[in-house]
Structure 1
Amino acid sequence: MSTPDHSYPAFSPYITVQDAAKAISFYQEAFGATERFRLVDAATGKIGHAELNLQGGLLMLSDENPAWNKSPQTLGGTPVKFSLMVENADAAIAKAAAAGATVQMPATDMFYGFRSGCVCDPFGHIWMLQHEIEKVSPEEMQKRWNSMTEKCPASKESDK
C-alpha cells in the first residue's frame, strides 16, 4: 500500500465553512479537488480539519467553530478572493455554477491579459477563475490600468 503525499507548499489558504462535508463535495465537483484526508470530531460529526489538493495547490478547511473561527456566512461576507488558474474560464465558471456557485462576474477579457470571472461558492467564498490570453508586461498593464481608471468615474469617487 502506498503512502499518500502529504507534503506542504509554502503557502496554503485555510478557510472556514458551514458544513465542511458539503464544501468538500462542492470543491470536488466544481473545481476537481481531491481529498487528502479529514479529521472528524466524534462527538459532533463536524470536520475539525480537512485538506484538498486543488490544481497543484493545497486548500485546508474546517467547519465553523465560533470559539476559534467564523465563516463568511457568519461574518456577512469576505474581503478575500481566491484566484484559481483554469484551462478555460468560461467552462470553469459554468461548471462551478452547475455545482451551486453564484456567478458574480461572467468571464471577461481583462486588461492584464487574462480572461477572468468570479463566482461565490455556496459557503460565501469568492473565486476568481481565469486563464491567460496574452502576455502583458507590467509596464503595459500600468498603461492599460491608467487608461481604464481615467474613464471610470467610480474610481475617482472612492478617492474622496
Structure 2
Amino acid sequence: MIHELFAYLCVNDAAAAIDFYRKAFGATEKFRLTEPSGRIGHAELDFDGTTVMLADEYPEFNSLRPRPSESTPVTIHLHVDNADAVVARALDAGATLEREVQDEFYGERGGVVRDPFGHRWNIGHSIEELSPEEMQRRYTAMMEQ
C-alpha cells in the first residue's frame, strides 16, 4: 500500500534552492539536516500542504543534480491559483522561461520555467473543466495541424 509520493530534488546548492523556492513559489522550510561541512543531506519544504524534499548533490552515492544547460526528463507540475503571477515571481527569483504562459488545449493556462538548479516546472491553473474525450479531440486536432 502506498501512503504518499514525494518529489525529491537533487540540487547544486540546497541552501540557495530553498531560498529560491521560498521566493518563487512561497514554499516554507520544514527542516534541514546539514553536515558539518555545510552540505545539506536532506531538507523538506512545504508547498502549501505538499512536501517537496531536496538535498545537495552526492556524487559518491550517484545522486547527481540536473545540469541547467541540458535537457531534463522530469517536469514538475505546479497547479496554482494564478499561473501568470507565479511564473512572473519565478522569473524574478531567477528562473528562466521555457514557454510563455498561454491557454492550453487541456483546459489550463500555464507556462514552463527552468529553475536555476536545472529542474523544469510547468505552472498552470484551470480555466475550464474538460472530459478526457474532449481533451483527446483537441489534442488530435492540434497534432493534425
Tell me which interval the TM-score lies in, with the shorter structure as reference length.
over 0.9
SS of corresponding position for 1:72? coil
More strand by share: 2
2:70 equivalent to 1:54: no
2:91 equivalent to 1:97: yes
Runs of 4+ in 1 over 2 A off after TM superposition: 74-77
Give the Å deviation of 1:76. 3.6
TM-score, reference length from structure 1: 0.86
Gaps of 5+ in 2: none
State which structure, 1 or 2, has the greater radius of gyration over its C-alpha atoms.
1
Change in Cα spacing, 1:111 to 1:18, as seen in structure 2 (3 Å) is same
Match 1:41 to one of 35, 55, 73:
35
Give the Å deviation of 1:75. 9.2
Match 1:124 to one of 118, 122, 125:
118
Identity fraction in percent: 51
> For residue 129 of structure 2, what is the amino acid of its counterpart?
K
CA RMSD of aligned residues (A): 1.4
TM-score, reference length from structure 2: 0.94
Total equivalences in the alignment: 142
Match 1:148 to one of 122, 142, 145:
142
Change in Cα spacing, 1:74 to 1:31, as seen in structure 2 (3 Å) is closer
Gaps of 5+ in 1: 1-8, 152-160
Cα deviation, 1:20-71, whole Å, max 9, x if unaligned, reads 00000000000000000000001x2100000000132110000001012000
Matched with 1:31 is 25
